[in-house]
Amino acid sequence: MSRSDELFARAKRSIPGGVSSPARAFKGVGGTPLFLSHAQGPRIFDEDGRSYVDYVGSWGPMILGHTHPKILEAVQATAARGTSFGAPCILEIELAERVVRHVPSVEKVRFVSSGTEATMSALRVARGFTGRSKILKFDGCYHGHADSLLVSAGSGVATLGIPGSPGVPAGTVADTLVAPFNDVAAVERAVDEHGADLAAIIVVSMLKVRLPGITGTISLKYSKISAR
């Protein structure tokens, strides 16, 4: 039995499913989740001493690699002044200004604690601004743990969402439409049928594919959809 096997068995006694996110449970590909011990530069290391090239980068933030000296220096200096205040501080202003300066499409930015919170906030803004209720998402795209986004797709055409997870009431996803990924015709039909009440279309540009022994991505085929 590997060290990861031992830790997974131990974790399941105190953590539901043994992991903090269902996406880490390996149920789609089989096997035991790798439990990591440390990382350096572009490599991560598991509890059994194996080394891997890290193509995930903690889902984005490790663009300079792990334990970069300047990052460690900045984190340590900031932590010495306090790790959390629960109140406004100058660092969030400086970060917001930098984001706005470097991303032309961003006029203002609201910082949140998770991707789930970000998508919930974005959809609430879209619904508030448009005065519309429905959203369109795509089969297989994950947008966080919000009830209205935990839906599965119909077959072939855009359908009303149905709960894809126990504990999600049908009424919660009644305004969620689902279309097959990269099916532009299905999107156009959804817009034609529901455009008057469609607040937003939300999509993951790179869809993760999980098949036995295979993990990969499919790029989004972009198409111009007329504004309604």
Q: Tell me: the pLDDT tens digits for 197-219?
A: 999 999 887 666 544 444 455 55
Which structural domain range is residue 142 located in?
133-219
Tens of pLDDT, residues 32-67: 899 999 999 999 999 999 999 999 898 888 999 999
Residue 58's nearest CA partner among 39, 71, 33 is 39
**Cα-based distances in Å from 73 to 2, 37, 43, 95, 98:** 35, 21, 20, 17, 20
Tens of pLDDT, residues 94-129: 999 999 999 999 999 999 988 889 999 999 999 999
- Looking at the DSSP assignment, which residues form a beta bridge with residue 35? none
Is 16 within a domain?
Answer: no
Is 3 within a domain?
Answer: no
Is 89 within a domain?
Answer: no
52 neighbors 64 (Cβ within 8 angstroms)? no
Is 138 within a domain?
Answer: yes
Is 198 within a domain?
Answer: yes
95 neighbors 106 (Cβ within 8 angstroms)? no
Is 38 within a domain?
Answer: no
Is 211 within a domain?
Answer: yes
Indicate the number of domains in the chain: 1
Residue 24's pLDDT is what? 77
3-state class (DSSP) for residue 41: strand
In angstroms, the CA 90 to CA 157 distance is: 49
Is 47 within a domain?
Answer: no
